[in-house]
Amino acid sequence: MNNEEQILSDKKAEHFFFRASTADFKKIPGSPIAYWVSDRLRNSFIESSSLKDIAQPRKGITTADNEKYMRNWFEVELGKAALKDGVDGIKWHPVNKGGNFRKWNGNKEIVINWKNDGEEIKKFDNSVIRNPSFYFKEGMTWNDISSGKFAMRYSDGRAMFEGKGPMAFAENSDKLINLISFFNSIVSASILSFLCPTLNFNIGDIAKTPISSNILECKTIKENGKVCIILSKEDWDSYETSWEFTSLPLLQSDFRRPTLKATYHDLRANWQKMTIQMLRLEEENNRIFIEAYGLLDELTPEVPLNEITLTCNPHYRYSNSKNAVELELLLLADTMKEFISYAVGCMFGRYSLDKPGLILANQGETIEDYWKNVRADQKLPTANCPLSTDSVFLPDADNVIPILDGDWFTDDVSERFRKFLRITFGDEHYEENLKFIEVALGKDIRKYFLKDFYSDHVRRYKKRPIYWLFSSPKGSFNALIYMHRYRSDTVSVVLNYLREFRIKLTTEKNHLEAVSISASASPGEKTKALKEIESLRKMIEELDSYEREILYPLATEQLEIDLDDGVKVNYQKFGPALRKIPGLDTKEE
C-alpha cells in the first residue's frame, strides 16, 4: 500500500471511529454505552434537572387478571361506568393502559372494576395496588412498551393507570402541558433513543430524562401544546369508539351540504387543516426545544406526516407505503363505513338523529326507554296511533334486523339503511348519494352488509362487538341484534324471523316448480327455474338444520347475559348460533 492509499484508508477508518471516555458515559444516568451521543446532548444530563425532580413518574396497578377486572368501555352498561364524572359506588372506571402509538390525547378505551375503592381487586392475592394516592389525578401517560416511537398523552383527573400505562404528575397544568410537549418532540426522541434502546419505556428510564429549565415556563410551548391536545381530543371523539362521541362529523351542520360527496369534501378539507395545523405546531415546538438544548447542528424540526397522530390523517392511519391516491381511497371508504355503522347504531337505538350521544346503552333497554330519552313529550307510536315516519328515523322495535340476500323483508338492514340515507340527506340527491357510497365501498350496499359489515364491526370494536350476528352455517340466514338490548326471549324472536324467511323461500320454491312444468314457460325460463329451485332447496335444508340443531334448543334455554361479564364470556354462550370471531378465545394480557 502506497502513502496515498494509506492516508485514504486512515480517513475511512476515522469516519467510523468514535472516541468517548468512561467519564463521558457517566454523565448519562445509568451510564449506557451510547458512544454516538454528542457532547452537547450528553452535557444536558449535567446542566438540566431530571424529570423525577420536576414531576413524579409512577407505575400503576397490576390486577394479575385483566380478563376478570378490565373491559372495553363499550362492553359494559353506561349506567355502571364513570366515563365522564367520578361517581362513588360506580363499578367501572377509566384506566390508562397504553394502546396504539398516539400523541397528545386519546387511547381512552379501557375501564377497570374499582367499585368501592377496588374492593374485589384488593381481595385478589396476586394483584399489586401501586400508588393509589395518584389515581384519578391529572397527569401525562405513555405506553410502557412500544413497537415504535414514544408518545405522551394528556390524562384528565378521571382515570386510574395500569402497569402498561404509567403516568407522571406535575405541580400544575401549565408545567404538565409543557412536559407533554417536550416528550412529543424530536429532542425527546433523540434522548430516549439511548435511554430506552429496547423500546421499553419504563418509569425508571423516563425519570432520568433531562428537562431544560428554559422550557418549563415557555408560553409558546404551552399554547401550542394546548391546541395539540384539543385537536387530538376532537379527532378521538369523532369516532364512535370514544365514550365522548356525540354525533357523526358527516352529519354535523358545519359540514352539511346538499350531497354526501360535497359534505365529505368539506369534512376532508377540515381534516387536512387540522393535520397541517398540528404539523406546524409540533415543528414550532421542535425549534424551541432544539434551541433550548443547543442542538441546532444536530437536529432539524421537521415532523414526518405519518407521525401526526390524528385518525383523520391517512398518512398516520394507514401504511406509510401507500401512495396519495391509495390513502385517499382508503380514507373515503372507511368514512363511508363509519356512516353506515352510525346508521346501524340508529337502527338499534344506540344513537338517535334527534339527540346527541348514547341513547340506549344499558342492559335490556327497550324502545320505550328510547322514547322516554329522546321524545319524552310524545306518546310512543302504536298500531292504532302510528307516528308519521317520513322524516323520523325510529329504532327497530324487537332488536332483530335481518341481513339477507334479496328483498325478503321490508325492514331488513339494507332497506333500513336506504331510509336512513333519505332522511339524513334527502330524496332529491338520494340516488347520487347512494352511488357515491357504493363506489367508495366497491360494491352495492346489500353486498356490503352481507360480506363485509360484520367483519368491519368486529375490527372496529377490537373483537368485542356490540352488535351480534346470528348466522346459519353457510350464511343463508343472518340477523343482527344489539347486545345491550338483549333479553332472554331475543333468540326466540330471531327464530321467528328464520321461520318466516323459510316460509317465504318455500313459497318461492313452489312458484318456480310451477314454472318449471308450465306449458307457457320457455325452455330458458324452465332451466333458470330448475337451477333456482335447487339453490332454494339447499337453503331450506340449511335453515332446517340450523333451527333443529342450534337455534331452537338455544331459544328454549332462555339464556340470560350479564354485560359486566364482557363480550368474550357472553358471546361464547351462544356457540355456533353466532358468527365465529377468530381470536375471541385468545387470553388477554
pLDDT digits (tens, 9 = 90+) for 487-498: 999 999 999 999
Helices 430-441/260-292 angle, 10° precision: 50
Residue 305: closest CA among 258, 342, 331, 272: 272
In SS3 terms, 38-54 reads as CHHHHHHHHHCEEHHHH
Among residues of the chain, what percentage have pLDDT more than 90? Answer: 79
Instruction: Quickly state the pLDDT bin for 45 (edges 50, 70, 90).
Output: confident
CA-to-CA distance for 443 and 384, rounded, in angstroms? 40
> Rounded to the nearest 5°, which phi and psi values hold at 401?
-125, 115
**CB proximity list for 103: less than 8 A, separation 6 or greater:** 151, 152, 153, 184, 228, 232, 307, 309
In this structure, the number of other CB atoms found within 10 A of the CB of residue 584 comes to 15
Is residue 6's pLDDT more than 60? Answer: no
Q: Kindly state the cell numbers that stand for 257.
A: 351540504
List the single range of 41-50, 76-85, 193-202, 249-258 with lowest mean pLDDT: 41-50
Residue 4: predicted pLDDT: 53
- Going 381 to 382 to 384 to 388, the CA torsion angle's sign is positive
Burial of 25 (0-12, 13-18, 19+ CB in 10 A): middle
Q: Kindly state the cell numbers that stand for 394.
A: 325510529
SS3 221: helix
Domain range list for the chain: 52-317, 330-366+390-577
Instruction: For residue range 487-542, list pLDDT tens digits in order.
Output: 999 999 999 999 999 999 999 999 998 988 888 888 898 899 999 999 999 999 99
CA-to-CA distance for 65 and 122, rounded, in angstroms? 12
Residue 31: predicted pLDDT: 42
Residue 269 and residue 331 in contact, taking contact as beta carbons nearer than 8 Å: no
Pick the residue with more confidence: 69 or 391? 69
Instruction: Quickly state the pLDDT bin for 319 (edges 50, 70, 90).
Output: confident
SS3 210: strand
List the single range of 75-84, 135-144, 306-315, 417-426 with lowest mean pLDDT: 75-84
Residue 177 and residue 229 in contact, taking contact as beta carbons nearer than 8 Å: yes
Residue 5: predicted pLDDT: 53
CA-to-CA distance for 173 and 293, rounded, in angstroms? 23
Residue 518: predicted pLDDT: 87
Q: What is the mean pLDDT of residues 552-570?
A: 97
Residue 214: closest CA among 292, 106, 298: 292
Instruction: Quickly state the pLDDT bin for 391 (edges 50, 70, 90).
Output: low
Residue 85: predicted pLDDT: 66
Instruction: For residue range 253-301, list pLDDT tens digits in order.
Output: 999 999 999 999 999 999 999 999 999 999 999 999 999 999 999 999 9
Residue 562: predicted pLDDT: 97
Q: pTM of the prediction?
A: 0.91
Rounded to 5 degrees, what angle do the CA atoms 420, 240, 136 make? 150
> Which amino acid belongs to residue 391?
S
Is residue 39's pLDDT more than 80? Answer: no
CA-to-CA distance for 132 and 20, rounded, in angstroms? 43
CA-to-CA distance for 577 and 92, rounded, in angstroms? 30
Is residue 26's pLDDT more than 50? Answer: no
Sheet holding 70-72, edge to edge: 70-72, 110-113, 92-96, 160-161
Residue 347: closest CA among 255, 421, 282: 421
Is residue 54's pLDDT more than 50? Answer: yes
Q: Kindly state the cell numbers that stand for 565.
A: 361479564
Among residues of the chain, what percentage have pLDDT more than 70? Answer: 90
Pick the residue with more confidence: 376 or 443? 443
Instruction: For residue range 185-239, list pLDDT tens digits in order.
Output: 999 999 998 888 888 899 999 999 999 988 998 999 999 999 999 999 999 999 9
Residue 167: predicted pLDDT: 98
Instruction: For residue range 337-378, list pLDDT tens digits in order.
Output: 999 999 999 999 999 999 999 999 999 999 999 999 997 777
Is residue 14's pLDDT more than 60? Answer: no
Pick the residue with more confidence: 14 or 576? 576
List the single range of 40-44, 274-278, 391-395, 580-584 with lowest mean pLDDT: 40-44
Is residue 27's pLDDT more than 50? Answer: no
CA-to-CA distance for 309 and 565, rounded, in angstroms? 33
Residue 86: predicted pLDDT: 59
Residue 411: closest CA among 340, 502, 497, 482: 497
Instruction: Quickly state the pLDDT bin for 41 (edges 50, 70, 90).
Output: confident
- Please give the C-alpha separations between residue 465 and each of 95, 115, 136, 157, 244, in angstroms, as whole numbers: 20, 25, 28, 28, 18
Instruction: For residue range 144-186, list pLDDT tens digits in order.
Output: 988 778 999 999 999 999 999 999 999 999 999 999 999 999 9
Residue 321 and residue 244 in contact, taking contact as beta carbons nearer than 8 Å: no
SS3 5: helix
In this structure, the number of other CB atoms found within 10 A of the CB of residue 173 comes to 12
List the single range of 10-14, 44-48, 319-323, 426-430 with lowest mean pLDDT: 10-14
Is residue 51's pLDDT more than 80? Answer: yes
The mean of the pLDDT values for the chain is 90
Instruction: Quickly state the pLDDT bin for 587 (edges 50, 70, 90).
Output: confident
Is residue 399's pLDDT more than 80? Answer: yes
